[in-house]
Structure 1
């Protein structure tokens, strides 16, 4: 673990090169990430605000921040299943810790997250949500997203390298997970229509990860139970990830 972290120049460079390579020879380059998010926010924001009968001035910021967080989470999930498989050549030829590839992936997804976050600044200028001093709590929320991204990518990477059926399973479940999470639909609508059954939303971990970021960015109040649950997921995930890293890191090069 520590040896992988110390090689930050390597994984940071590789992560940035991944983004540059994706948009090679394009006019806007990585700015296409921001443009894509802006178009999605504008198009779906006004569409779903009409469907749900919501005020666009409140709904568009709500949905946009939800998408920004979801793109980071889904990026870690999908990239995690391929982190070692796609880097088979490097793993066999480059004498580097497996954590280098994990950190490279999470760093790349975080850079994409920062590009998308530019759209939030545009939302601030256009819709002017009631942001307060509580916005500073988004900094530890960002840190928790990164910490969770690392253990998720590590666990999925090792498991997918050993069991090749996991990547298509994760891909199939991601769309279901998206629609079951309060990203495009407000949690208040579920509480109004589902009544006592609305508590089932609390069983969805994505809900809590999205809320600890979205609430401060929109100036909304939030319950501390979201933070406690995310901290519990973080501690449990890292405990399992460290166990897997200790027992199986030497086998990754054989499994790929």
Structure 2
């Protein structure tokens, strides 16, 4: 096999020397190989997400075990909704690993004009910048958005009490929740991401996009097998790392 390989490279070298008119084609060969590799990686990533979606629709995603539920319950209770703010100090930063990306896009627009948001059990000060619904009959919704530097509250809120929905993080295998460049500061509600019902508040996380970067939010919310679940994905821009509670 080694001899054949050396011979093949020898023939290629002769072609390069003997056929100069083909130099342009050969010079593009490396670029085509790189592009092909990139396309393969993207295809593999899309395949993983599609498999996760298919697993949900086939009923293969199981309800979280007791240890995970206990952990989620503890995390949810850590946000004291009776206090003036839901504090997130530097010691409370949960994701120390922030994987950035050179990919850039048009970010969700923000104005800095905050209003009162009613979360049911408490109200907070924020600017709503994104809202997308998963309705009955839909298989899934996909969120692919860029966020400029600052603090945000991301809320995946299931509303059906009888049919569950699941949130699929695009880059979960890399240890990322919401996506590249998005740092989770605090988990207010953490009743997910799989088999979420409307009797709890789903996922409400405070995240930060570091100065000089962009966050790339990539998330898929998948319906129940019967496509009877409902949910809403909301993104709020907030003044700082704490939810400012309105009494």
TM bucket (normalised to shorter chain) is under 0.3
The structure with more strand, counted as a fraction of residues: 2
- The structure with the greater share of residues assigned to helix is 1
What TM-score comes out, normalization by structure 1 length? Answer: 0.25
The structure with the larger Rg is: 2
